[in-house]
Amino acid sequence: MARLWTAFLRVPLFWKILLANAVIVAVVVLVCHYSSGMGGLVPVLVAGVLLSALVNAVLLRLALGPLHALEATAERVSEGDGSARVPASPVADRDLERLRQTFNSMLETGTVYRQRLREITARALAATEEERKRIARELHDGIAQSLAALRIRLRVARAVQDERERAKLLEQVSSEMGEAMEELRRIARGLRPPALDMLGLGPAIESHARNIADATGMAMDLRLEDIGHRLPPDAELALYRVIQEALSNIARHSGADTFRLQLGVAGNHVHADVEDNGRGFDVAAAMSSNGGLGLFGMQERAGYVGGTVAIDSEPGTGTRVHVLVPIYESARYAS
Ligand SMILES: Nc1ncnc2c1ncn2[C@@H]1O[C@H](COP(=O)(O)OP(=O)(O)OP(=O)(O)O)[C@@H](O)[C@H]1O
Ligand SMILES: [Mg+2]
């Protein structure tokens, strides 16, 4: 009996109401049929209407109860409780149960996303801090020392009476200033891939890909269209970093012997494809696990400039990373 009742509760609301009303109508008809001699139809019809209202009210309350749980959970989440989930309800029908599961899995995806975003932000902050320390060290130990030494030499030169001796010292100062300037340039280059500004996106990517191929012994197939300066500097940098991560993953994880890199313009997008013929992997599992942040970071970085990253891979099939970055007309950059 209990099992029958549970099975009835699982039946979709539409059928429950239809069934209940059909049963009530049938009962009323039967009672009318057998009680025509006992006081007329009116009391039977009134009882039928009341019964129908009662049964419909009970069914609707039972069926919609789980929706209140859904609403309460949504409220908790919006108040900041990311761990809130809708509990299973013994009276939910199949449709509501499906809705509950979809809702919970949406919350789960959101939680995982926020967690990864936190990790990547923490990593970016740590990297920025590390970079600042490195620059501070280089400025302090390099340029600052050179400038201090130059100051002393200038003082010495000023005190020297002999013209030729002074000229020689000033010449030394001038050459050391040149070295200090070179050092400064080197530090500045470290802040943004120099090839990107000096050569443009395509050649910068080519130079990086060649380094990877040389270092790993992989064969490469480059098809790089000249995309000029269609992207603003931040979008160029984002695309460059995404390709860098894709190539780094190929070198570290794929076991491939060849990779292919394409860059071009299609419509109002710049697109890049990075493919390898390596072992491939389960993308959904890699994205949801607590492993690396590279894949997640690629999507975030592309997202910041309005772009997207699609990763196609399966174990045994190689991997293809497809990046699209929009070209905004207003942002066409002159060379
Ligand atoms: N081209 C590829 N071929 C095979 N497996 C790959 C490839 N790219 C990524 N993977 C798999 O996906 C996982 C996640 O990659 P992801 O770049 O997010 O992290 P990671 O490279 O391990 O670490 P990092 O945070 O330093 O990038 C990798 O550990 C690897 O197993
Ligand atoms: Mg990686």
Structure tokens given for 243: 């390709």
Q: Domain boundaries in the chain?
A: 2-92, 117-191, 194-331
Q: What is the pTM of this model?
A: 0.61
249 Cα to the center of ligand 1, angstroms: 5
For residue 248, the ligand closest to its alpha carbon is: 2
Determine the 3-state secondary structure of 35 from DSSP: coil
Q: How confident is the model at residue 335 (pLDDT cuts 50, 70, 90)?
A: very low
Query: Which tens digit of pLDDT belongs to each residue from 153-177?
Result: 888 888 888 989 999 989 988 988 8
Q: Which residues make up the environment of ion ligand 2, defined by Cβ < 5 Å?
A: 249, 292, 294
Q: Where are the alpha helices (DSSP H) in 144-193?
A: 145-159, 163-191
Residue 306, CA distances (Å) to 50, 113, 303 in order: 60, 18, 5
Ligand 1, atom 22: closest residue by C-alpha = 292
pLDDT tens-digit map of 59-118: 778 777 788 888 899 999 888 888 899 988 877 778 888 899 999 999 988 888 888 888
Contact residues of ligand 1, CB 6 A cut-off: 249-250, 252-254, 276, 278-281, 286, 291-295, 319
* Assigned architecture for domain 194-331: 2-Layer Sandwich (3.30)
- Return the ∠ at Cα 218 (arms to 214 and 223), rounded to 5°: 90
Burial of 16-33, coded b for 16+ CB within 10 Å and e otherwise, reads beeebeeebeeebeebee
Mean of pLDDT over the chain: 85
Task: From the CA of 252, give the closest atom in ligand 1.
Answer: 21
